[in-house]
Amino acid sequence: MNEKVIIFDTTLRDGEQSPGASMNAGEKMRLAIQLEKLGVDVLEAGFPAASEGDFEAVAQVAGVVKNIEVAALARTHKDDIDRAWAAIRHAKNPRIHTFIATSDIHMNYKLKMNREQVVKTAFETVKYAKSLTDSIEFSAEDGSRSDRDFLCRVFEAAIEAGATTLNLPDTVGYAIPQEFGDLVKYVMAHTSNIHKAVLSVHCHNDLGLATANTIAAIYAGARQAEVTINGIGERAGNTSLEEVVMALHTRPNFFPVYTNIKTEHIYPTSRLVSMITGIMVQPNKAIVGANAFAHEAGIHQDGMLKNPMTYEIMKPETIGLSTSKLVLGKHSGRHALRSHLKELGYDLSDEELKLVFKKFKELADKKKHVLDEDLEVIVTEGILRTAEVFNLEYLHVSSGTTVKPTATVKLKINEKSFEGSGYGNGPIDATYNVIAKLTGSKSELLRFSVSAISGGTDAQGEVTVRLKENGLIALGRGTDPDIITASAKAYINGLNRLEYLKANPIETSEVI
């Protein structure tokens, strides 16, 4: 009988450590619900000791999801463990995830601890965590660069103390697949009590090998994979959920294992993460990229017409790429909208539907057909961004070859309206100058990019910006049929994310 591979999703924790990819509580809640629908087994909701905002977000997620385990990260400190437990204690299936570094370079230079101290700390922390809940995961940070025998010794101590999952991370993305697979085999063969726990792996993508290392580990016997949607995360990111799951799904003859992932929810989840974080998926990204199922070469197109399997090893429908032909326009009713949103994975309350329907009608008046991508934007911007510090009320721009670009902007700041005007080198520069003045922002614009959500001259423009202020980096995203308005929305969204980061700084000094 095939064995199960547990899918541990850390998009809400490690994924959020992508520079600028902070999520507010409402965004985390929406994503957590989608991840539960996707079928992940464990959802790492955050690092409660990092900030009050992270604590509250983890607690809210723990109170909502019912069918999966909710994990909270904690260093091997009693205060961290207490904070993690306080955040998830009301979860139906809580898990405490604690970690300490085991490589010589980390122990000597970061922890200032010797091996005996690390083993003792790991044992005592896991034992204390076990007194609070049954499901305990222990991670050996920088495990891939640790002495193998010492790694096994730490793992034995953690299991003896009550750990039910052992995580072997490739923290800095240093491992090579064959090497990492051999390490997994060694740990399983030389950790005497390994049969009492599940061995997990958590790989980073610094050499572009995160998925390959994870697959090699599963082949070698690991039975939990720690992943993020779209592979987002610290530095070059983490192992991509969609890549691991679809590799196992597509090659069952090679991997006698299975997962609980409902693959038809992969693409909608990918889109949601991209919209929430503002991190665009590269077109040639495996599985969920825009070009993943595109065929331009003539010989490919000919083969596809004769038999799709000539050049596609999986069907687009398998990952949830919509094949619906339902067209929504300004005459579409509330029932049709609700029905189609459900097909896309959005089960909205009556109040949420009312808000989305209003924005849908406004957009339908501007363009002939409202596409799935448009609906996703409406849901994201209409529901998840309702309680922000800055909101755009009005924008008027004057520009041309013989006119000095000017902008008049009206913002609602903490529920009070403010208006201002100003000039710039172009209409967007003028708009940004006025917004910066009204908000008092000293942020630096690091990146500005524009793309179209769909085809056609009436397509909504999508603008993403990267802002930096006092060492904090935030991504902003905005959409609108008018590209200048989309630019204003993106800038304001980025400023709101900066405000959130100021109030809820993300702990990134120690990562798994």
Instruction: State the pLDDT at residue 109.
Output: 96
pLDDT exceeds 60 at position 301? no
Token pair in block for residue 417: 């309206």
Instruction: State the pLDDT at residue 229.
Output: 98
The 10s digit of each residue's pLDDT in 433-443 is: 999 999 999 99
Spatial separation of the C-alpha atoms in residues 167 and 164, rounded to whole Å: 10
SS3 263: helix
Instruction: State the pLDDT at residue 496.
Output: 92
The 10s digit of each residue's pLDDT in 435-480 is: 999 999 999 999 999 988 777 777 888 899 999 999 999 999 999 9
Average pLDDT over residues 481-509: 86
75: number of CA atoms within 13 Å, CB side? 13
Question: In the sheet where 461-469 sits, what is the strand order?
Answer: 444-452, 461-469, 472-480
The 10s digit of each residue's pLDDT in 412-434 is: 999 899 999 999 999 999 999 99
The 10s digit of each residue's pLDDT in 85-119 is: 999 999 999 999 999 999 999 999 999 999 999 99
Average pLDDT over residues 140-156: 98
pLDDT exceeds 50 at position 300? no
392: number of CA atoms within 13 Å, CB side? 27
Spatial separation of the C-alpha atoms in residues 211 and 177, rounded to whole Å: 9
- Does residue 69 contact residue 112 with C-beta atoms inside 8 Å? no
Instruction: State the pLDDT at residue 297.
Output: 47
DSSP strand pairing (6-9 vs 444-452): unpaired
Spatial separation of the C-alpha atoms in residues 360 and 383, rounded to whole Å: 13
Spatial separation of the C-alpha atoms in residues 203 and 434, rounded to whole Å: 44
Instruction: State the pLDDT at residue 310.
Output: 64
Spatial separation of the C-alpha atoms in residues 123 and 339, rounded to whole Å: 52
Burial of 9 (C-beta count, 10 Å sphere; 0-12/13-18/19+): buried
Spatial separation of the C-alpha atoms in residues 429 and 72, rounded to whole Å: 42
Angle of the 372-383 helix axis to the 334-343 helix axis, nearest 10: 100
pLDDT exceeds 70 at position 133? yes
Spatial separation of the C-alpha atoms in residues 140 and 155, rounded to whole Å: 8
SS3 68: coil
> What are phi and psi for residue 97, nearest 5 degrees?
-120, 110
pTM of the model: 0.86
**109 DSSP 8-state letter:** I
Q: What are the start-end ranges of the E strands in 102-215?
A: 136-141, 165-170, 198-203
Instruction: State the pLDDT at residue 327.
Output: 60
Average pLDDT, the chain: 90
What percentage of residues in the chain have a pLDDT greater than 70? 93
Q: What are the start-end ranges of the E strands in 23-105?
A: 42-46, 69-75, 94-101
Residue with tokens 């910066």: 436
Rg (the chain; Cα; Å): 24
Which residues, listed in sequence order, are joined to residue 140 by a DSSP beta bridge?
Answer: 100
Angle of the 115-130 helix axis to the 78-88 helix axis, nearest 10: 30
Which residues, listed in sequence order, are joined to residue 75 by a DSSP beta bridge?
Answer: 99
Spatial separation of the C-alpha atoms in residues 377 and 485, rounded to whole Å: 14
- Confidence grade of residue 213 (pLDDT, cut at 50, 70, 90): very high
- Does residue 259 contact residue 8 with C-beta atoms inside 8 Å? no
Token pair in block for residue 239: 């192992």
Q: What is the 3 state secondary structure string of 372-438?
A: HHHHHHHHHHHHCCCCCCEEEEEEEEEEECCEEEEEEEEEEECCEEEEEEEECCCHHHHHHHHHHHH
Average pLDDT over residues 5-21: 91
pLDDT exceeds 90 at position 294? no
Regarding predicted confidence, which is higher, 210 or 304?
210
Spatial separation of the C-alpha atoms in residues 158 and 136, rounded to whole Å: 9
- Does residue 380 contact residue 272 with C-beta atoms inside 8 Å? yes
Token pair in block for residue 224: 């939990």
Token pair in block for residue 100: 């300490």
Spatial separation of the C-alpha atoms in residues 202 and 238, rounded to whole Å: 8
> What are phi and psi for residue 338, nearest 5 degrees?
-60, -45
pLDDT exceeds 90 at position 368? no
